[in-house]
Structure 1
Amino acid sequence: MSLTLRVTTPLAAVLEEEGLASIRAEDASGGFGLLPGHVDLLTVIEAGVLRFRRPEGPWHFCAIRGGVLRATGGRLVTVACREAVPGEDLARLEAGLKRQAEAADQAARRARGEQVRLHANAIRSLMRHLDRAPGADLSGIVEAFE
């Protein structure tokens, strides 16, 4: 008995390998392995490198950007993820994942900064508008936001 691994993204079937002896992945609880005959399993896997091999063969790799792993019938393992890149060079795949994570962090920081700027501008605009209302004296509050 052997395993079949299918890795798909919304745009393509990235990988289909048959005759595998084992598969290794990682979820929130840590790393785990799958062998032929494994019980059915459904788990969310972290962004990282999926490892798989044939009997007596070397490990092969596929970098994934998180996803859902499903093992069924003790033979079929499917991974549905946002992005997947198969490759033979583990160090290169891990470096690519690290670059992607850093780029995502930078984008999130920029987005948070822009959100704060827009929020402050909205508050300033509201305060100026309210300051013009008859009988309103909000000058101290407006100055705090300028």
Structure 2
Amino acid sequence: MSGGLHLTIATPASLLVDAGDVGALRAEDLSGSFGVLPGHADLLTVLPPSVVRWTKRGEAQRFCAISGGVMTVSGGDRVSIACRRGTVGDDLAALEAAVVAQRSAELDADRRARVEQTQLHARALRQLMRFLRPGASAGPLGDGDAPFTGEAAP
């Protein structure tokens, strides 16, 4: 391989990048941006939505926006990235905009999930309180119409 890295970036459905003779690679994990050169120590890290950059010897820098994934460096010459989605391109600005949009979408999805979880928790507590209410005339799941007041029924 003439001293370069062999880079693969794959999704479950396709192989996005299979490049040999890579001279340098930059990626980002939760601790920040870092570089990988031939001879790098073995590494396993989780990548957030970000742009991976690499340079093949004698060629322009290439980019791949990923939706997050796992990166391994092994043997000092193999770099593998597994991600759910990725887009390879030459326009860094467009790919970085895609990453910002992806991170924003993930934050929104997390917020919606937390709201839904809180709503489900509140419903479960209301059902439990109805079920445990003394003198409840409801069925086995406590679906009575009277609101819970915290006081015992007369």
TM-score (norm 2): 0.78
Aligned to 1:34: 36
Aligned to 2:141: none
Using the TM superposition, give the Cα deviation of residue 6 of structure 1 relative to its aligned residue in structure 2, in angstroms.
0.3
Structure 1 residues 55 and 81, CA gap change in structure 2 (3 angstroms): same
Residue type of the alignment partner of 1:5 = L
**How far, CA to CA, are the matches of 1:30 and 1:102 in structure 2?**
18
Residue type of the alignment partner of 2:112 = R
Render the CA deviation track for 1:9-44: whole Å, top value 9, x for unaligned: 222212111121111111233221112222322222
Find the partner of 1:65 among 64, 67, 76: 67
Find the partner of 2:117 among 90, 99, 115: 115
Find the partner of 2:100 among 98, 101, 120: 98
Aligned to 2:86: 84
Gaps of at least 5 residues in structure 2 are: 137-146
* Larger displacement relative to structure 2 (81-90 or 118-127): 118-127
Using the TM superposition, give the Cα deviation of residue 57 of structure 1 relative to its aligned residue in structure 2, in angstroms.
2.9
Using the TM superposition, give the Cα deviation of residue 132 of structure 1 relative to its aligned residue in structure 2, in angstroms.
4.5
Maintained 8 Å contact 2:49/2:103: no
Identity, in percent, stands at 44
Maintained 8 Å contact 2:45/2:70: yes
Q: Quick check: which one's helix share is greater?
A: 1
Using the TM superposition, give the Cα deviation of residue 121 of structure 1 relative to its aligned residue in structure 2, in angstroms.
2.1
Structure 1 residues 141 and 86, CA gap change in structure 2 (3 angstroms): farther
Aligned ranges for residues 123-142 of structure 1 at < 5 Å? 123-133=125-135, 139-141=148-150
SS at structure 1 position matched to 2:45: strand
**Structure 1 runs of 4+ with >6 Å offset:** none
**How far, CA to CA, are the matches of 1:139 and 1:55 in structure 2?**
72
Matched, 1:2 2:11: no
